[in-house]
């Protein structure tokens, strides 16, 4: 399976920062998130000896918080793998890209994973931008 160079998912707003922080600590050993600007939080996890920079941006998109892991060395190879793990652990809806983006792809099509683990392809147009 292809491993992405970085992973980004969007967590429904009901996922609280404290719960996300606890889950990141448990899964990649990330210490407490630290402020990194307005509605931005940073940390750095570690997995099998590799550093994993973490960026959390609250209100990044219409009702969602962005979680970006800037490393290919995570326990999850793809956005979808991380999205499924996060939805189960945080019991919330999670969205992510369908895969690597290529010219001609529909940029508004995302994978939606519900708290119960079901997935659907949706068209997501952020009304806040």
What percentage of the chain's residues is helix, strand, coil (to nearest 5)? 20, 35, 45
Q: What does pTM read for this prediction?
A: 0.90
Q: How many CA atoms lie within 13 A of 14 on its CB side?
A: 8
| Three-state secondary structure call for residue 80 | helix
Confidence at residue 129, expressed as pLDDT on a 0 to 100 scale? 42
* Domain boundaries of the chain, sorted by first residue: 7-123
* pLDDT surpasses 60 at 103: no
* pLDDT surpasses 90 at 118: yes
C-alpha to C-alpha distance for 49 and 33, rounded to whole angstroms: 20
Helix axes 79-90, 17-28, angle to 10 degrees: 120
Between 4 and 108, residue with greater pLDDT = 4
Residue 35, phi then psi, degrees to nearest 5: -55, 140
* pLDDT surpasses 80 at 22: yes
């Amino acid at each position: 399976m292809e491993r992405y160079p970085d992973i980004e998912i969007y967590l429904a707003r009901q996922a609280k920062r404290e719960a996300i922080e606890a889950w990141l600590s448990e899964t990649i050993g990330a210490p407490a998130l630290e402020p990194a600007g307005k509605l931005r939080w940073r940390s750095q996890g570690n997995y099998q000896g590799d550093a994993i920079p973490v960026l959390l941006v609250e209100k990044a998109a219409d009702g969602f918080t962005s979680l970006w892991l800037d490393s290919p060395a995570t326990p999850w190879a793809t956005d979808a793998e991380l999205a499924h793990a996060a939805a189960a652990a945080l019991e919330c809806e999670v969205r992510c890209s369908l895969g690597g983006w290529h010219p001609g792809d529909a940029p508004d099509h995302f994978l939606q994973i519900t708290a119960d683990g079901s997935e659907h392809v949706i068209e997501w147009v952020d009304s806040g931008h």
